[in-house]
Structures are given as structure tokens and as C-alpha cells.
Amino acid sequence: MTTPRDQRRVFGEVADAYDDVRPGYPAEVLDRIVAYAGGVPTSVAESGAGTGKGTALLRTLDTPLICVEPDPAMAGVLARRFAGDDLVSVVVSRFEDWTPPPGGVELLASAQAWHWVDRTVRTRLAAAALAPGGVFAAFGHDFGFADDELKTAMDAVYQRLAPEIADKPGLPANAQHPDSFHLSELHVSPLFTDVEQQLVVSVVPYETARYLTLLTTFSGHRMLPEQRRHRLHQALAELVDERGGVVEQKLTTALCLARRTGSDRA
């Protein structure tokens, strides 16, 4: 009997490719976190650190950083990336199973990963990981297109070959990003205050082959049956090549910020 694949764990199947082609984060994201916090935090934890895309940004704080990553393959790449760095420690664990340091940390961050944490407990766990007044910062890219005509043509390919992972029409920019959905949870929680979202926009070019590699790192693509994924990627490659062989990805980085309330632990 075949064991169903856990969509949260498919990234480890392509950990090296993920580290190679996934874009990092602009320095402006960290600048905004520090400004919101009112200064550089003295302790940081990261949930779902992956191969270290967000970690690389957080590391520039020169602050002790605990990276919590559930997938051993992803954590292996992360550990190699920061080998010998005394400020970075890697914990192979689900965030739900991780025990925060006594007193909590001043900043809890999550890059492109907070939506994988159990939504029934994640707000409470975030508060429990933070010192009173500490900052929660979740951020991640919404992958769009700088060329609207290319996007329209690609949408048609998805609707034809993989409608279950096609963009849903009629939603405003960034509305489909999974890390936007938890804003409402924080707004209604008495454990957090000063909840806000900020957007940072950048453009990253991908040549055809590299763009296809990028697609193989998205969980929706990885969950497709192999033959269907191959047909989809072949059709997308032909489309991109017909239009010059470069996809300009418009990255809208959503940054969600919130502050831990009160003087009591969660």
C-alpha cells in the first residue's frame, strides 16, 4: 500500500534545487522589521527555516538565531550553509513540537512557511515563543508576472493541463498568498496587537530552464502526477521560449507584523 505524501514535506525531495533557484528576500524587508520592533532584537527564532532563504536575511542582524525546520533534507542544506557560524543553530523539528528558550525570544520570524504550521494552535504557539512585547514577522513571496500578456497565456496552459493549481481568477494582487490568510487570526487574538501588513515589490528574471527548476520547488507542482507535471512544464517551456526565453517574476513580498501583548506568558 502506498503511503500518501505529506505536502508539507515535499520540499525535501528537491532541497538543493530549492536552495539554488528560490529567490531570497530584499534587505528592505528586514529594515521594516527592525523599524517596527524599534531596534535590533537580541534573540531571534525562525519557524520553517527551510534551506535558509529567510535565514540569510535574518543573519545580518548579528543576533543569536535559532532555526526550526521539520524536514531533515532541508535542514541538512541549512546546516551546511551556516556550518561554523556560532550565531546560527539548527533544530530539526516541527514548530508545533519545539520548546522555546525560557523567557521567549524578541523576534519570531517565518519566511514562506507559516501557513504550514497547524492553524489551530499557531497563534498561541507564536505568543508562547515570544517575550512580552516581542515581534512576530511572517513574510513570503507571491510569485506573479511582470508581463501581463505572458501571465494570461500561462493561465490558459494551467487551466488546460492542471486546473487544480491554476490561479483563481478575480482575486486582488497577493490575495492568494497563503501567508496573508493568518492576518485575521492575529487581529482577533488577545495575544497580539499592532497587527499590520506591508508589501515589498521586486522583479527577478528567470531563463526558461531555470524557471522550470523553480516550478519543481512549488508544492502544488510536486503533488501532481509525474506525467502530468512533465506535460505541464513542457507546455510552459514552449510558451516561454516563444516569448524570448525569459520569465520576469514579479515578487510581491507580503510582510505581516504583530506585537506580543501583556506581561504574562501565553
Q: Residue 214 carries which side chain, given as an amino acid letter?
A: L
- Cα separation of 10 and 194, whole Å? 34
Distance of CA 195 to the CA centre of its chain: 19
Pairing of strands 65-69, 88-92: parallel
State phi, psi for 226 to the nearest 5 degrees: -55, -45
pTM score above 0.85: no
Are 77 and 99 contacting, i.e. CB atoms less than 8 angstroms apart? no
Give percent of the chain above pLDDT 70: 87
For 86-132, how does the pLDDT look when each residue is reduced to its tens digit (9 = 90+)? 999 999 999 999 999 999 999 999 999 998 899 999 999 999 999 99
Domains present along the chain, CATH in parentheses: 7-141+172-201+251-260 (3.40.50.150)
- Mean per-residue pLDDT over the chain, rounded: 88
DSSP3 helix / strand / coil % (the chain, rounded to 5): 40, 25, 30
Are 2 and 176 contacting, i.e. CB atoms less than 8 angstroms apart? no
- Cα separation of 111 and 113, whole Å? 5
- Report DSSP state, residue 89: E
Band the pLDDT of 10: cuts 50, 70, 90. low
Angle at 204 between CA 201 and CA 205, to 5 degrees: 150
Picking from 47, 42, 49, the residue whose alpha carbon sits closest to that of residue 98 is: 47
- Cα separation of 91 and 45, whole Å? 10
pLDDT of residue 13: 62
For 168-204, how does the pLDDT look when each residue is reduced to its tens digit (9 = 90+)? 765 444 444 445 546 789 999 999 999 999 999 999 9
